[in-house]
Amino acid sequence: MSESVSSESILVELNGGVLHLTLNRPDRLNILDVETRRSLMSALKTLENSSEVRCVLMSSKGEVFSAGADLRYILELSELQAREYTAFVKSVLDYVEAYPKPTIGLVDGLAVGGALELLLALDMVLATPNARFGLTELNVGLIPGGGGSQRLPRIVGVRKAKEMIFTGSLINADEALSLGLVNRVVPRESLMAEAMKICEKITAKSPAGLRLAKQSLNQSLYSSMGDGLRFENALYTSMVASPDAKERIKAFLERRKETAQKGG
């Protein structure tokens, strides 16, 4: 499985229900060039409908998580090519955000520009104390173009997002944690173990339930409260009527009954 979908830029492993994608160009600071983005999307699409995949991890090799977009490539784009490129980047990140499996980023080192935009499209992020984050596009004459100006304020608040984008400054792991940009900060040596603990809890849940819960949560980012509640209600109704949910409810009630009897 891993050999068939891995590429030069992305390593792919599937083990115990966990799909692990690793950025694999440390010599180029794991930049998110077109090839890397295509390889990432290809690996995800190949395994999107696999019942073996229950949770996705994204990490990197080397001292830098990713330095973001390939600026040398961007420098040579014509206006038409720029439109095509930005549409492609948007399609990749929108796809990652809507991926039907829970996704977790593992950050050890620098994550700036397009790299942070990739992390913003994931469901959760774990970081080491060595992690640094920033939307640094204005430092090189650009603006965020992969959803950064839209997703970041929804997580950290609009004022902090403006500060980060306008100044191009970096924030450390502790500040990222306090802002809700990352879920946990753990020692480097514990990063993978902590991620696997979360994946273990996730893989115990209903795949259909996880998929619908993610859809409902993502919908909350782009709709009014009323529309979001109606969307949630429709998903909940379909879930209540499903055989999978009924079986899981029965199993839960049976376990609770057995626990009560043992306690008595």
Q: What is the pLDDT along the chain (264 residues), one digit of tens a residue?
A: 444 566 889 999 999 999 999 999 999 999 999 999 999 999 999 999 999 999 999 999 999 999 999 999 999 999 999 999 999 999 999 999 999 999 999 999 999 999 999 999 999 999 999 999 999 999 999 999 999 999 999 999 999 999 999 999 999 999 999 999 999 999 999 999 999 999 999 999 999 999 999 999 999 999 999 999 999 999 999 999 889 888 888 888 888 767 776 765
Specify whether 59 is located in the same domain as 166.
Answer: yes
Let me know if 137 is a catalytic residue: yes
**Same domain? 55 vs 94:** yes
Helices (H), the chain: 2-5, 34-46, 71-75, 79-97, 114-120, 148-156, 158-167, 173-179, 191-203, 207-219, 225-240, 243-263
- Between CA 61 and CA 193 the distance in angstroms is 17
Residue of 52, 117, 175, 194 with catalytic role: 117
Report strand pairing: 18-23 vs 55-60: parallel
Query: Domain range spanning residue 212?
Result: 207-263
- Choosing from 137, 189, 200, 258, which is the catalytic residue? 137
How many domains is the chain built from? 2
Q: What is the CATH number of the domain that holds 224?
A: 1.10.12
Whether residue 220 sits in one domain with residue 132: no
pTM of the model: 0.93
> Is 8 assigned a catalytic role?
no
Q: Are residues 139 and 197 in the same domain?
A: yes
Q: Please say whether the beta carbons of 26 and 109 come within 8 A.
A: no
Same structural domain for residues 192 and 216?
A: no
